[in-house]
Chains A and B, each alone.
Chain A
Amino acid sequence: MKRLLVSLMVSIPLIASSQDMIILRNGDTLNCTINKIDSSSIHYNFQKGDRIITSFAGMNEIRSYRFSVLKNTLASPGDSLQTVSGNPVIVDTSAYVRSSFKWINMITYSQRFGLHAKGWSVQYYGYALKDNKKWVIPCGFGLESFKISTEYFSQFDYQSANINYCLAGISPFRKLFQDKIWLNLGLQLIIGTENLIDFYDNKSSNMIYGINPSQGIFFISESKIGITCGFGFYEKLMNSEVFKNDLGFKIELGIKF
């Protein structure tokens, strides 16, 4: 009787571990018999009541798998069923995740509150969203209008100024949380002209250039069409006669499509 108990105690763990094992990425463990492995999935048999059922799991669902005995089964091209007993095979899931491209368009309106000027801006951003990349670099263009505060403008010896410029640069986004919350860091060059009229009615025209860095946080809807909103700060440094620098806060609202 004692011998029987001892042999049972020895054999039960052996029987229990005589199955192959698949550990899924969601934490589930499947005790099964692996019967086919190919480049994209594993086919296995498992027992449900008195029935043996065949199922499969995609490689992107699997964290690791382990054979209980040496397998040497007829394999199709690309299959691999030979492995050493007991050694777990860790699946590099990233190899099975297909990167996907989505072209995203965004049009935003922003209200800008600077120390020296207030205004608004309309921006277009277009970028290819790759699900496995953290950074996206949009192409874009925009239109902005500022009104320089009278207090700031009065320190210069001009009665009016008309400044036209365009911005060229990059405004990359970095994924912070899922595909929803993004950090936006922009650096744009300012190139344009300014037409000035002084108090003696003398007109002059100057070429202006400068830089316009910005930093912000954006919420971008994950839906195909949705809203986007954000806030941030911007700085301006220019060689203008009447608008040399600015530091401001902006809030931005728009649509993504």
Chain B
Amino acid sequence: MKTLIYLFPLFLISCTVTQKVIYKTDDLSVQPSVRTYPIRVEVRILTDNRAHIDENKILFSDPRQTTLNGKKSCINSEQHYKPDSVVSQVSRMIAEHFNKARLFNLSFYNQSPYSGYYLTGTLNSFYGQQEFSTGALIGAQFGVVGAIATSGLKTPGKIIIEIADMKLYRKDGTLIKDLGNFYKEYEEDLPVDASCWCIYSNVNEKLKDFNSHLVEKIRTDLADVTFE
């Protein structure tokens, strides 16, 4: 009985694991020759449109381990993100990435009195799926050693990230540039684990790549804009 009392709170803790949209930005390198736009920009929290796109609906309805096209699969189910936080977390990472990549003089997450411009957009997709690994499941049955032994396993996966209707405005509401829609579909083998937690880190890693290319896109798109 004593054991049960001690174990019960642990069990509860394990059931309330919250996944974050986060990745390391320390390793993002910037070439000295890159152009930095001399403005301070707010990255406003993206509008969340994911639930209105059919492909994303499974993220809102199913747990992280589910069946897709008849195959046992892992998805980045919304259940494990803090409610209504994905867009704010993605926006925060975009602002951080912009700063590391020196796209603008300074980027702020959401709103700041020190900015002269703001960027808006709509998150259409932040979708990740990959095949479940029976090998990882078997490995997990052998405890830590088994889990480590199968830690290199990968399964085919698909990650789609799309930010639509990106627009850069001056603080007075003047549209400076319509940056359009930015989309990437990654289809490759992704690291997998027995508990379907890896899909969350896989999506985060692809967001990092996506944001690196988003920086390049914005840098190119703003090349013909003169900032006062």
- Give every chain B residue within 8 A of A26 (Cβ-Cβ): 187
Q: Does A51 contact B (CB under 8 A)?
A: yes
Those of B193-214 within 8 Å (CB) of chain A: 213
Q: How far is the CA of A53 from the CA of B182 in the complex (A)?
A: 6
Contacts of B145 in A (CB 8 A): 225
Inter-chain CA distance A224–B154, complex, in Å, is 12
Cβ–Cβ < 8 Å partners of A204 in chain B: none
B220 at the A/B interface (Cβ < 8 Å)? yes
B139 to chain A, nearest CB (A): 8
Which of chain A's residues have a CB closer than 8 A to the CB of B152? 222-226
| A74 CA / B152 CA spacing, docked (Å) | 43
The B interface is mostly helix, strand or loop, or mixed, namely: mixed
Chain B's nearest CB lies how many Å from the CB of A39?
Answer: 10
Interface size on B, residues (CB 8 A): 25
A55-B184 in contact (CB<8A): yes
Contacts of B216 in A (CB 8 A): 36, 38, 41, 43, 56
- Provide the B116-159 mask, 1 if CB < 8 A to any CB of A, else 0: 00000000000000000000000000000100111111000000
Report whether B149 and A43 are in contact in the complex, using a CB–CB cutoff of 8 Å: no
Contact of A52 with B by CB under 8 A: yes
A26–B186 Cα distance when bound, in Å, is 12
| B183 x A41 contact (CB < 8 A) | no
Check if B181 sits within 8 Å of A43, measured CB to CB: no
A35 at the interface (CB under 8 A from B): yes
CA distance A23 to B55 in the complex (A): 26
From the candidates A35, A51, A223, name the one contacting B220 in the complex (CB within 8 A): A35
- Establish whether residues B217 and A54, one from each chain, have CB atoms under 8 Å apart when the complex forms: yes
Decide: B148 and A55 in contact? CB cutoff 8 A.
Answer: no
The answer to whether B149 and A56 touch across the interface, beta carbons within 8 angstroms, is: no
Q: How far is the CB of B90 from chain A (nearest CB, A)?
A: 17
A38 to B185, CA, bound (A): 19
Contact of B181 with A41 in the complex, beta carbons under 8 Å: no
| Per-residue contact bits, chain A 215-238, to B (CB 8 Å; 1 contact, 0 not) | 000000111111000000000000
CB proximity to B under 8 Å, residues A196-253: 221-226
- Evaluate contact between B153 and A223: CB separation under 8 angstroms: yes
Encoded as 1 (CB less than 8 Å from any B CB) or 0, chain A from 102 to 137 comes to 000000000000000000000000000000000000
Q: Which residues of A contact B181 (CB under 8 A)?
A: 51-54
What are the residues of chain B within 8 A of A100 when measuring CB–CB?
none
Residue picked from A36, A45, A222, most chain B C-beta under 10 Å: A36
- A77 at interface (Cβ–Cβ under 8 A)? yes
Determine whether the beta carbon of A55 is less than 8 Å from that of B150: no
- Beta-carbon contact of B151 and A223 below 8 Å: yes
| A94 interface contact, C-beta 8 A | no
B180 at the interface (CB under 8 A from A): yes
A226 cross-chain contacts in B, Cβ below 8 A: 149, 152
State A36–B218 Cα separation when bound (angstroms): 11
- Determine if B220 and A225 form an interchain contact, defined as CB atoms under 8 angstroms apart: no
A74 partner, pick from B153, B185, B223, beta carbons under 8 A: B223
State whether the Cβ of B33 lies closer than 8 Å to any Cβ in chain A. Answer: yes
Chain B 166-187, CB-CB to A under 8 Å as 1, else 0, gives 0000000000000011111101
Instruction: Name A102's closest neighbour in chain B (CB-CB).
Output: B152
Interface, chain B (partner A; CB < 8 A): 33, 35, 145, 148-153, 162, 164, 180-185, 187, 213, 216-217, 219-220, 223-224
> What are 10 A-to-B residue pairs whose CB atoms are below 8 Å?
A26-B187, A43-B213, A43-B220, A45-B180, A54-B182, A56-B217, A74-B224, A221-B149, A225-B151, A226-B152
What 13 additional pairs, Cβ within 8 angstroms, besides A52-B181, A224-B152?
A26-B187, A35-B220, A41-B213, A43-B217, A53-B162, A54-B182, A55-B182, A56-B213, A56-B216, A76-B223, A225-B148, A225-B151, A225-B152
